[in-house]
Structure 1
Amino acid sequence: MQIDRVYTAPPLFIISLILLLSTIFPTGCILLHTTKFRLISYHIGDDDGFTTLYLKFNTSDFITLKLFEPSHVILYRDTFYMGKHNAAICLSSYRKTPPDGKYILCIYDKNNNQVFEKKLFFTKPNISIISGKEQWWEEKPDTYVLIGINLTIMNHGDLPVYPLDVEILIDNKTMGSYITLPTILAPGSIGTVYSFTYIKNIKSEKHQIQIFLRNTDGETIADASYPVSPHENVSFLRYQWHYQKEYQVKIPSSEALYTYYKTQNRLNTDDYAAYVFDPYDDMFLKMFTEEILRFYKQNDDVGKINFVASFVQKSLEYMEDDPSDPEYEYPRYPVEMLIDKHGDCEDKAILTAAILDYIGYNVSLLRLPNHMAVGVHLNKSIPGYSYYIKKYYYLETTQKGWRLGNIPKEYRNISDITVYPISCRPLLIHSWKNATHYFTTDGKDFVKIKILLENLGEETAKNVEVKAGFFSGDNQCYNGETITIPILEARGEKILNMKVTVPSGISTILKTQVYLNSKMVDEKKSDSWFP
């Protein structure tokens, strides 16, 4: 992790100035120093799901900046030295629109005297649905499936809005609620909101559709009603494979889902269960799984698991992420794998685990040296096979023809195995949004770190601690700081600001660590040593 550097105003300069003034005015009168503050600009924006107030300002001396929210509680507080600065202040928690009303920005000098005040007024969100476009699949003659809806939205307000889902009614009958892809409706802008829906058995006739768009608080922020006439307007994915006989299946594709996942940065974690936990392709996986299981009618767990594995092994080509660089990894989300129709061992394992998890099996990802497979737990034994690790049978998803419990020779008797359960659990990672090293002339240097903490799992994380400190070569921690987060919801994120004093006289490296129930689950460190 790289760290920026900032040199603060030297106190020796101020002392020299005072001595100079005492020379110019020998009577002993010294001119009183007044802190000058100028707000250059400000605007509201979004910072990866957090509504943020961006400030640009100049100050002639040390100041304390405070922002009060409409309830008069201090929302933000920080200190700045002489010079030109940029500040980014989070106004709300992750994907939440902040309260409307009056915010007050106050500036105080080093003697705690107020030298500046600015009132900022923000109004309630005002959202309207301009139009809707549906995606239809003619599953059977004159019978359609609504597999997607794309809404064009206008945000007339001055705060960002974060839609969560859409509730859909057809002919006054509730069809269900469907999660939308993460979208930010910026103030004064027009945007689009997409949801993969999978609503079956809609007849070939005119219908009235009603749409209620809701935010992360479950509040309806916009609604619309208009007539629709189903007509097939989707492209298709086709697969074929052999399992005791030949099978072929055709399912609708989703360009919107594929584009979304293809543009996502890969997650900074070895726990690839995160790619299974991601919820935005759940309806697509439901559709796909139901389609391929139409061919398998037997009530046989082992047979059904082998049937799914045969699809992944045989219909999807094995291909390295980068043939010129064996160390490069690009883990694919299940939708990416299904649409690309190729991938390497972890891609095949992720897709297989996602399908089996949807069916209801207890599965895990198994990370072996230079390989990944799937572990499957069954409440009954498989004749001729034993558990591979932790009551999981081994399932090979890369090489063709392997059945549940059968282990390729090169992966037998291996002890270096990491198990990542596909279960309802938290999955915590963190990153540094920025880190700045402040140099002071009194030798009390410090680093400010802005940390993004994420829970990629399916369960709320409790008793989370984020620790920052400087570590020597023998792993001794100096000047450690800790922030406790009582609760971080599933799929939730949190911004943390930490300040750590740089120890003098010893070579150290800066580390941040995330603990869940007193166990370290993630760690980051600086690229360079201090001082």
Structure 2
Amino acid sequence: MRSCTLIFALILLASFAIAGCLFNKVSCKILSITIGDNGGFPSVFIELNTSDSIKVKLFKGKALIDEKEIYIGGERTLSLCLAGYHEIPEKGTYHVKIYDMNDNLVCDSKINIEDPKLVINNLDVDWWKEGKDYVLLETSLNVTNEGNVPIYVRTLRISIDGTRSKVAHVYNETINPSSTSTISACTCIKGILDGSHSILVDLFDLNGKKIATFSSFDSTHLDFSIKKTHLKWYFEEKEYSITLPVPKKLLSYCSSLKRAQTEDYSFYAIFPVDDNYISFLSEKLLSLHDTRDIEEKINFVASFVQSIPYHKEEEEYPRFPIETIADLEGDCEDKAILASSILAEIGLDVALIRLHEHMAVGIHLDGVDYQGKVYYEDETGKRYLFLETSNVGWKLGDACEEFKDQKNYTIYHVGSKPLLLQECEPPIRYKYLKSDFVVVEDRILNFGIDNANNVELVVDFLAQYDLSVKKYVSEKFGVRAGGGRLIRLKINSPKQSFLKVKIDLIHEGKVVQSSIFIFE
């Protein structure tokens, strides 16, 4: 009888050890939970203290929203996404549940998410005198987020006297919980008579849902704080001149943005926050030279951009169009970006042509004789006439000898397309018990006008001389226009030693961007 009892006790002890309930039981305490923005994703920030490795999961009801694993004990802070990029989380009760690595529940906590509550405190507009009338150049709103989740404002619709209206993309669009900030948009509503006007503003999120509204009155007036630029140039032996306002908040916002790590500079030409300004600029410019001849119209636009003084930069630093207008100087890519944005705005099939240490504009025209003109073909065989914008005097289809027939070139279309960029955190290697793996976290953003499908990540482990010792390909995914995806990968380390990890962002089978990280 004693021997049977001993055997039963040993079996019972062994079962407890396997379940992790008696030996090496995980102890974890949640120290704090806060809600805020994390790189465009509404997130729960969890500060905790754990004795061992754990799994942290976020649920809404039975639906798993996000999860992470922690492989080292001690005090840690991590974030879990409540919703997608620039999406406002749904109202309801969420649960943070922490498990040990055997999926035993260790502790949990409840979070209540409220409906978003954005209050517009006041309105400020910048007026620009244009002839006898006024232009509502820029609109700014002081707003307070009285809810407990981040609010992301994508667009603003402003109406003047119930008759004139304009939709504009907002800059500084993130408002964290319990915070007050200023959001602005370049509106450029023309033809407003001098006097007092009623103004109605509606704010919308990424999905087009109205999230706040505000009405006010304002009177037109001269604003001497608005910076202006003035340019004179010649086209077909006739002198032209133009004076342009520089919206100060738009300029400040674009100047503050980190330059994108991409060679596709169409990013700067199609960036949506300055759409209304480019439309205003294009219309004002073309009003100076009325012609129905499309090539003459293109050459006139080119003459305007060519007359902006050329300034060579020590390091390549692509500028948004508003920056080039404000400084009235730029190098080849700055001037090509500005010209392409104007020409695309007037409905032309435009591209940027990247050559060796140079950039120009390409324009495809139907029904035009390409014989004797300089052009470059894209991958489908479509021909784009070369347009030099760096120096004065060049016409569509002309080029100096250096740029007439280069073999090494890339064409980047300017217009309706996805435009993907990745922001990858440095991968971390873990050696946990008998496991050896690398964790990759990559934020994929689509700044383009179209949705991106068939997107994937390729993670390449490189040894000496960049020899690939293992390659991992993620599942394919999509990224909506103006949206983003957060991709987390847990990849077993190769058996061979490696020195680098290269992460390629792939769209439709082509490498869009690469990031390389060195492992010591």
Q: Normalising by structure 2, what TM-score?
A: 0.90
User: Is it true that 1:288 corresponds to 2:263 in the alignment?
Assistant: no
The residue type equivalent to 1:465 in the other structure is E
**Structure 1: runs of 5 or more not aligned:** 1-21, 23-29, 323-327
**Deviations, residues 203-256 of structure 1 (Å, cap 9, x unaligned):** 222222111122222222211112221112133221111112111111221111
CA distance in 2 between counterparts of 1:433 and 1:249 reads 46
- Matched residue, 1:403: 395
The residue type equivalent to 1:363 in the other structure is V
Deviation, structure 1 residue 145: 1.5
Q: 1:62 to 1:527 in 2, by over 3 A?
A: closer
CA distance in 1 between counterparts of 2:405 and 2:252 reads 41
Deviation, structure 1 residue 88: 1.4
**Deviations, residues 315-351 of structure 1 (Å, cap 9, x unaligned):** x1111122xxxxx210011111111111111111111
User: Is it true that 1:372 corresponds to 2:359 in the alignment?
Assistant: yes
**What pairs up with 1:311-460 in 2 under 5 angstroms?**
311-314=304-307, 316-322=308-314, 328-381=315-368, 385-390=372-377, 391-440=383-432, 442=434, 444-460=435-451
Deviates most, 502-511 or 111-120: 502-511
Q: Secondary structure at the match of 1:342?
A: coil
Q: Secondary structure at the match of 1:393?
A: strand
CA distance in 2 between counterparts of 1:430 and 1:452 reads 6
Deviation, structure 1 residue 75: 1.2
The residue type equivalent to 2:200 in the other structure is Q
**Percent identity for Structure 1 against Structure 2:** 32
Q: 1:298 to 1:111 in 2, by over 3 A?
A: closer
- Matched residue, 1:95: 86
**Residue number among 116, 120, 133 corresponding to 1:125 in the alignment:** 116
Q: Normalising by structure 1, what TM-score?
A: 0.88
Q: 1:161 to 1:383 in 2, by over 3 A?
A: closer
Check whether the contact 2:469–2:498 (CA below 8 A) recurs between aligned residues: no
Deviates most, 161-170 or 427-436: 427-436
- Matched residue, 1:304: 297
Deviation, structure 1 residue 505: 3.2
- Matched residue, 1:138: 129
**Deviations, residues 112-144 of structure 1 (Å, cap 9, x unaligned):** 221211111121111111100111122122x22
CA distance in 2 between counterparts of 1:386 and 1:174 reads 44
Deviation, structure 1 residue 83: 2.5
Check whether the contact 1:369–1:416 (CA below 8 A) recurs between aligned residues: yes
**What pairs up with 1:225-244 in 2 under 5 angstroms?**
225-233=215-223, 234-243=226-235, 244=237
Q: How many residues align?
A: 491
Check whether the contact 1:481–1:500 (CA below 8 A) recurs between aligned residues: no
- Matched residue, 1:85: 76
- Greater relative contact order (CA < 8 Å, ≥ 6 in sequence): 1
- Matched residue, 2:178: 188
Q: Secondary structure at the match of 2:177?
A: coil
Q: Secondary structure at the match of 2:341?
A: helix
Check whether the contact 1:164–1:182 (CA below 8 A) recurs between aligned residues: no
**What pairs up with 1:141-290 in 2 under 5 angstroms?**
141=132, 143-173=133-163, 175-233=165-223, 234-243=226-235, 244-290=237-283
**Structure 2: runs of 5 or more not aligned:** 1-12, 14-20, 378-382
Q: 1:434 to 1:51 in 2, by over 3 A?
A: farther
CA distance in 2 between counterparts of 1:83 and 1:306 reads 66
CA distance in 2 between counterparts of 1:482 and 1:215 reads 30
RMSD: 2.1
The residue type equivalent to 1:415 in the other structure is K
The residue type equivalent to 2:203 in the other structure is L
Deviation, structure 1 residue 171: 2.3
User: Is it true that 1:61 corresponds to 2:52 in the alignment?
Assistant: yes
CA distance in 1 between counterparts of 2:23 and 2:467 reads 49
